[in-house]
Amino acid sequence: MVSPRRRLVAGNWKMNGSFAHLGAYMDALVQRLTGAEAACDVMICPPHPLVSLAVTATEACAERCQPIAVAGQDCHGQDQGAHTGDVAAGLLAELGAKAVIVGHSERRTDHGEDDATVAAKAAAAHRAGLTAIVCVGEALAVREAGDHEATVCAQLAASLPDGATPANTVVAYEPIWAIGTGRVAEVGDIAPMHQALRRTLEARLGAGAAALRLLYGGSVKPGNAAEIAAVDGVDGLLVGGASLKADDFDAILDAYRR
Ligand SMILES: O=C[C@H](O)COP(=O)(O)O
- Indicate whether 51 pLDDT > 50: yes
Ligand 1 atom closest to the Cα of residue 179 is: 10
Q: What ipTM was estimated for this complex?
A: 0.99
Q: What is the pLDDT of residues 149-200, one digit of tens each?
A: 999 999 999 999 999 999 999 999 999 999 988 888 999 999 999 999 999 9
Question: Ligand 1 pocket check: which of 73, 135, 220 to mutate, most ligand atoms within 8 Å of Cβ?
Answer: 220
Q: Give binding residues for substrate as ranges.
A: 12-14, 180, 219, 240-241
Does 8-60+68-76+94-256 carry CATH code 1.20.1250.20? no
Contact 2, 32 (CB under 8 A): no
Q: What is the pLDDT of residues 65-109, one digit of tens each?
A: 999 999 999 999 999 999 999 999 999 999 999 999 999 999 999
Q: What is the pLDDT of residues 95-146, one digit of tens each?
A: 999 999 999 999 999 999 999 999 999 999 999 999 999 999 999 999 999 9
Q: How many CB atoms lie within 10 A of CB 32?
A: 18
Q: How many CB atoms lie within 10 A of CB 207?
A: 7
Whether 138 is catalytic = no
Q: Give residue 1's pLDDT band: very low, low, confident or very high (50, 70, 90).
A: very low
How far does residue 171's CA lie from ligand 1's centre (Å)? Answer: 14
The string of DSSP letters for the chain reads ----SPPEEEEE--S---HHHHHHHHHHHHHHHTT---SSEEEEE--GGGHHHHHHHHHHTTTTSS-EEEEES---SSSSSS-TT---HHHHHHHT--EEEES-HHHHHHS---HHHHHHHHHHHHHTTPEEEEEE---HHHHHTT-HHHHHHHHHHHHSPTT--TTTEEEEE--GGGSSSS-PPPHHHHHHHHHHHHHHHHHHHGGGGGG-EEEEESS--TTTHHHHHTSTT--EEEESGGGSSHHHHHHHHGGGT-
Q: How many CA atoms lie within 13 A of 180 on its CB side?
A: 10
Residue spans of the domains in the chain: they are: 8-60+68-76+94-256
Whether 104 is catalytic = yes
pTM above 0.90, yes or no: yes
Phi-psi region of 218 (alpha: psi -120 to 50; beta: other; left: phi over 0): left
How far does residue 236's CA lie from ligand 1's centre (Å)? Answer: 13
Question: Ligand 1 pocket check: which of 109, 238, 244, 252 to mutate, most ligand atoms within 8 Å of Cβ?
Answer: 238
Q: How many CB atoms lie within 10 A of CB 147?
A: 13
> Distance (Å, rounded) from C-alpha 186 to C-alpha 227?
10
Note the pLDDT of residue 63. Answer: 85
Q: Is 41 exposed, middle or buried (0-12, 13-18, 19+ CB in 10 A)?
A: buried
